[in-house]
Structure 1
């Protein structure tokens, strides 16, 4: 029996994430993954016990990359309002290919619903982390009297987090960029002091 080939697990996981992101979990076959990664099925099975485990790790990678990007934006030395604008802009997509793919987490939430507890947990973790980033920015804005204090920072962060999820669905559904921008402008106007 031949020994499975060694491969770069991180690179392969990233490539598998791209396949799942483009096709979704159910429509992705192991052949799609082996073709994209150029890693044999047997070698993949040595590291990831099955397609679902590979998908869960791909979701975690997507979450980690997204949160790192948002944390970097939130740490910049600009006003809280500029930080919120940057986070909102980074959450939406800049080109047709990215719009077509949408957000891996939103896509997965729509594909799975609440049928898989581990997938749901990964999705919830992502949205909780985004909400914490938004809450910190909003609280800073409230302290500087740039954002209303009529609601708590947590309430406003929850609201804006849900607006962003909805904007991602609008985007993937083909709504014009101007309409999505109007939704975001309205959300910012509602948070004004």
Structure 2
């Protein structure tokens, strides 16, 4: 008869995500994970198989959280311009700014060497793109956002800006530099 699980899997996954986010995959040891979570190595292995599996689950959790925040902004009862402003402010007010984006960090750490990490990054880009497209398309219909480019092109542009800002955060750029990039990029798509 197996022993019952003695820890909250969701809590441990969130805590592990934070460790990976701060340190990266390669620099994170199982000792770092067990110290942070308070869960023994064997118990972690039983639930998450290995460090890589835990990391992939952490990436998926991070992606889900980011997309949920974006969808909350997209669902606001406000104009497309106000939604884009809310998104821009959320990027500036993000308390985790100096950490950058976990998925961008992982992409920079792994390059294209790991298919599953690359797939998580691709999913993130696709899902962010879809939310941005909805907001932009709505703004174009209301003539609040430029029709010079398609909603797909503008969403891709803003998505790239967001990714670039996350790299800037991780590399220590000032809030003022980041704010300038965001204000300029978001402003350029408005009518």
Shorter chain as normaliser: what TM range? over 0.9
Cα distance in 1 for residues equivalent to 2:98 and 2:49: 30
Counterpart position of 2:135: 137
Partners in 1 of 2:6 and 2:100 — Cα distance? 32
Question: How far, CA to CA, are the matches of 1:51 and 1:92 in structure 2?
Answer: 32
Shift of 1:165: 0.7
Rounded to whole Å, the distance in 2 between the matches of 1:94 and 1:68 is: 15
Report whether the alignment pairs 1:113 with 2:150.
no
Residue 59 of structure 1 is matched in structure 2 by: 59
Note the residue ranges of structure 1 that are not aligned, 5 or more in a row: none
Give the RMSD, CA atoms, in angstroms: 1.6
* Structure 1 residues 92 and 116, CA gap change in structure 2 (3 angstroms): farther
**1:103 counterpart = 2:79:** no
Query: How many pairs does the alignment contain?
Result: 190
Segment of structure 1 superposing worse, 175-184 or 152-161: 175-184
In the alignment, which residue of structure 1 is the partner of 2:125? 127
1:76-129 Cα offsets, whole Å, 9 max, x none, are 01110111121222234544xx23322111111111111100011011101111
Please name the residue that 1:162 is paired with: 160
CA contact (8 A) 1:17 1:55 kept: yes
- Residue 11 of structure 1 is matched in structure 2 by 11
Question: TM-score scaled by structure 1?
Answer: 0.92
Q: Under a length normalisation based on structure 2, what TM-score does the superposition of the two structures give?
A: 0.93
Which residue of 2 is the match for residue 41 of structure 1? 41
